[in-house]
């Protein structure tokens, strides 16, 4: 629909020309170069990952810790009572629906891929203690909790809160550049803002593509485990095409009947699978381990979070911690904007509790159930999971389920959960990218979201073709590095904006109807935009 409520049809575009075409051009150029130089791409990705890890790893570590400290200070500080959308704003979604969407977008595929594999890897190849011991099991869970705990959710929280505050309370478009209004003023409408949004778009697409690549590897491993389907690039390409088609269907359905529905299905199916493993596995061992894991994590967090391999002179962090930090940062525009889009009406304190604390605890429960179940089998049982993980990471979850009844049923359920997480990640990512490249329009034309959903699948396929897991990791780290600078600036801008709002000073942009309950009923055509042009 245009400003007059007229339907312009499927081929109507509503884009910011500089952001849309530059971002799309850079991504298509990457795809083309990867296909042209396919024989040499594998080594290139490996060398690039090593280079960034060696010379910029410390910067990733600093960035993640600074942002976590700042987010905690917001939760405990004087801004926690500010409501996103104004004092009378009412949340658009139920708490369950809200949480389901943010959790599906925030972790999804990654937890299924690494929930068993990572604790087992650290148990049998610990960088800090003797491998295969009880201490290695504790440290392995500590390291896994570090990578999946408070730090990534703090990154999502800072981006989501910044976007939601400046969109709902200040009336600025729902775009990354809007956050920097307190620092750059009207200059966000020019080249500075364009660069910020282009960086966010590219980082988002490659971050989502990394997760899609991991997800399709796991689906392929599950089908091989159950039905003997070969694990190959060809099969994975076919799977990407099929699942991207489902994601496109979800895009067409919209947020309420598409993303929201699938996100809630995700949560129920994943919870059912987790309860099955908990109740039919070493339940007492898991329940004891959960408390111990959280206790050790909190005790050792300062040490682990600031560890830089300075004195060990090793490169373990490059493949693990630095990859994760780059992955979470590259995901942050996507997850943060999606969380912002569905968080109207929440207070700052409620937002941070919902985005930082609750998902972290649920993540810890998931990792403990699956990771400690695998460790229990390795330490006290058959001891065959570690070897399987070393040989083929994506099969780790299915190897664990072999030790439970109804393994065919549960393995099939695991595949379904991976696919639904795949779909919600893809269509959520395409929605967010489309909002950014449409100049902050929260309801961009459908054809643009379909374009980005297809391009995400294409990039995931090309990354798998050009180097598999190493290529996926490198893409996340490479796009995350420049965006980490944006995140640090975002903390400064948000703090300034919150302080001005709290004191009743600073800029105010008029926006009629911002406090209505339904987001879609707000007059989005009146939202300030950044020189968007329409092409028919």
Per-position DSSP letters for 132-156, written without gaps between them: TSHHHHHHHHHHHHHHHSHHHHHHH
Pick the more confident residue, 11 or 207: 207
**Alpha carbons 521 and 348: distance in angstroms, whole number:** 23
Q: Which residues pair with 83 in a beta bridge?
A: 347
Is 90 part of any domain?
no
Is 120 part of any domain?
yes
Is 36 part of any domain?
yes
Is 140 part of any domain?
yes
Contacts of residue 78, Cβ cutoff 8 Å, sequence gap at least 6: 502
Mean residue pLDDT across the chain: 82
* Domain total of the chain: 1
Q: Helices 407-437 and 191-227 meet at what angle, rounded to 10?
A: 170
Is 376 part of any domain?
yes
pLDDT grade, residue 4 (50/70/90)?
very low
Predicted local distance difference test score (pLDDT) of residue 109: 67
Residue 154 has pLDDT above 50, yes or no: yes
Is 70 part of any domain?
yes
Predicted local distance difference test score (pLDDT) of residue 107: 61
pLDDT average, residue stretch 157-180: 92
Is 6 part of any domain?
no
Residue 449 has pLDDT above 60, yes or no: yes
User: What is the b/e burial string over 115-132, where b = at least 16 CB atoms within 10 angstroms of the residue's CB?
Assistant: bbbbbbbbbbebbbeebe
Taking alpha carbons only, the member of 512, 533, 514, 492 closest to residue 180 is 492
Condensed to tens digits (0 to 9), the pLDDT of residues 222-245 reads: 888 888 899 888 898 898 888 888
pLDDT grade, residue 147 (50/70/90)?
very high
pTM for this model (two decimals) = 0.85
Q: Which residues pair with 13 in a beta bridge?
A: 535
**Alpha carbons 35 and 33: distance in angstroms, whole number:** 5
pLDDT grade, residue 524 (50/70/90)?
very low
Pick the more confident residue, 308 or 443: 308
Residue 518 has pLDDT above 70, yes or no: no
**Alpha carbons 315 and 342: distance in angstroms, whole number:** 39
Condensed to tens digits (0 to 9), the pLDDT of residues 381-410 reads: 777 888 888 888 888 899 999 999 998 899
The domain of 129 spans: 13-75+95-535
Condensed to tens digits (0 to 9), the pLDDT of residues 49-102 reads: 788 888 889 999 999 999 999 999 999 999 999 999 988 888 887 877 787 766
CATH number assigned to the domain comprising residue 182 = 1.20.1740
Residue 7 has pLDDT above 50, yes or no: no
Is 8 part of any domain?
no
């Amino acid at each position: 629909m245009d400003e007059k409520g007229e339907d312009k049809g499927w081929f109507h575009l509503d884009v910011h020309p500089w952001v849309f075409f530059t971002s799309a051009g850079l991504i298509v150029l990457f795809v083309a170069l990867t296909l042209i130089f396919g024989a040499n791409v594998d080594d290139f990705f490996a060398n690039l990952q090593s280079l960034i890890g060696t010379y910029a790893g410390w910067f990733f570590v600093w960035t993640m810790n600074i942002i976590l400290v700042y987010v905690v200070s917001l939760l405990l500080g004087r801004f926690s009572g500010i409501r996103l959308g104004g004092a009378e704003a009412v949340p658009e979604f139920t708490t369950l629906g809200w949480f389901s969407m943010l959790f599906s977008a925030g972790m999804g595929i990654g937890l299924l891929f690494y929930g068993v594999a990572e604790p087992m890897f650290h148990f049998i190849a610990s960088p800090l203690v003797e491998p295969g011991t009880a201490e290695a099991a504790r440290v392995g869970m500590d390291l896994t909790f570090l990578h999946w705990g408070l730090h990534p959710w703090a990154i999502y929280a800072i981006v989501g809160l910044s976007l939601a505050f400046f969109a709902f309370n200040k009336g600025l478009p729902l775009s990354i550049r809007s956050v920097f209004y307190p620092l750059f003023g009207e200059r966000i409408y020019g080249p500075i803002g364009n660069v910020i949004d282009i960086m966010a778009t590219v980082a988002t697409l490659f971050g989502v593509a990394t997760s899609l690549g991991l997800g399709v590897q796991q689906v392929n491993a599950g089908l091989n485990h159950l039905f003997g389907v070969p694990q190959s690039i060809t099969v994975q390409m076919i799977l990407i095409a099929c699942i991207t088609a489902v994601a496109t269907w979800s895009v067409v359905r919209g947020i309420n009947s598409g993303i929201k529905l699938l996100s809630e299905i995700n949560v129920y199916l994943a919870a059912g699978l987790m309860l099955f493993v908990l109740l039919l596995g070493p339940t007492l061992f898991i329940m004891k381990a959960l408390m111990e894991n959280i206790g050790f994590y909190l005790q050792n967090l300062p040490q682990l979070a600031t560890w830089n391999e300075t004195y060990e002179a090793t490169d373990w962090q490059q493949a693990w911690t630095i990859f994760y930090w780059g992955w979470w940062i590259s995901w942050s525009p996507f997850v943060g904007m999606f969380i912002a889009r569905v968080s109207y009406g929440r207070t700052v304190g409620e937002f941070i509790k919902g985005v930082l604390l609750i998902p972290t605890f649920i993540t810890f429960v998931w990792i403990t159930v699956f990771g400690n179940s695998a460790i229990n089998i390795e330490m006290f049982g058959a001891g065959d999971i570690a070897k399987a993980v070393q040989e083929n990471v994506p099969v780790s979850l299915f190897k664990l389920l072999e030790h439970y009844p109804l393994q065919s049923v549960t393995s099939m359920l695991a595949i379904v959960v991976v696919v639904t997480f795949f779909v919600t990640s893809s269509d959520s990512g395409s929605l967010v990218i489309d909002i950014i490249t449409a100049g902050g329009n929260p309801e961009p034309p459908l054809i643009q979201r379909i374009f980005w959903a297809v391009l995400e699948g294409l990039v995931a396929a090309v990354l798998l073709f050009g180097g598999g897991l190493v290529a996926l990791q490198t893409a996340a780290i490479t796009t995350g590095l420049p965006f980490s600078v944006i995140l640090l600036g975002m903390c400064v801008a948000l703090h300034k904006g919150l302080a001005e709002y709290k004191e009743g000073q600073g800029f105010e942009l008029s926006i009629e109807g911002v406090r209505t309950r339904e987001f879609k009923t707000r007059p989005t055509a009146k939202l300030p935009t950044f020189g968007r042009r329409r092409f028919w």
